[in-house]
Amino acid sequence: MQQPSSLWSRLAPPVVRNLIVINLIIWVASIVLLRRGIDLNDLLGLHYFAADKFRLFQLVSYTFLHDTSSLEHVLSNMFAVWMFGSAIEQVWGSRRFIFFYILCGISAGLTQELSWMYELRGIEGYQMVDIGTELLSTRAFLDLLITVGASGSVFGLLLAYGMLFPNSYVFVGFFIPLKAKYFVLIYGALELYLGTHNTGGSIAHFAHLGGIIGGLILILLWRKKGEISRQSFN
């Protein structure tokens, strides 16, 4: 006789709930280790490719890390993984879903690297960089550049949700209903505007766009190969 599933299992499919658990565990571990002098975000976060601290695996590992000073950062991303990812995993299956999630994160990371490359063009010609409070060597300055968070993968999920469920409603700010297809277009345009106008502080807007672009390319390739249906759901 089939055993009744747990409430947690009914609320989210396996990959989604495992992603949420893993991210939360790593966030707590990051805080505990930081107090002991070990900075996981510095070790596993995404550094600029020309920095001494850059490692290739960081293109994946950075997506499982979040700001240790902000509970909102990890909770908002995990809420989005649950809200959009659950429906997508149920349609695509677990293996395709996790492949899509990771690839969107990599695409976001590569886009962030290109953004840094553009912003830092010519800096290698200088030995010292003035950061306002002190002078740093160029090598030390490049090591300070770091990106963490699952937002790139989340924006890929947002795109996929908008393509799969274009006429379903997303509640903006929990109160304003907006069809998913319009939500994706507006959010994408907003990220492009914020990125090109260099607003939003430390938020990696171009990385978000990179997650969307990577997700779009993969979905179009899968559709061309007939691996996923063009059908959308209301």
Buried b (16+ CB within 10 A) or exposed e, 102-118: ebbbbbbbbbbbebbee
Q: CB within 8 A of 124, min separation 6: which ones?
A: 50, 138
User: Which tokens is 174 given?
Assistant: 């929990």
Alpha helices in 35-135 (DSSP H): 40-44, 58-61, 71-92, 94-119
Walk me through the domains of the chain, giving residue ranges and CATH numbers.
11-120+149-225 (1.20.1540.10)
Q: Determine the average pLDDT of the residues in 76-99.
A: 94
pTM here is 0.88
Is the pLDDT at 232 greater than 70, yes or no? no
Torsion sign, CA atoms 155, 213, 87, 149: negative
Tell me, what's the pLDDT at 4? Answer: 45
Q: What is the pLDDT of residues 123-150, one digit of tens each?
A: 766 776 766 677 778 788 888 899 999 9
CB 115, CB 207: distance < 8 Å: yes
Is the pLDDT at 122 greater than 90, yes or no? no
Tell me, what's the pLDDT at 2? Answer: 43
Q: How many residues does the chain have?
A: 234
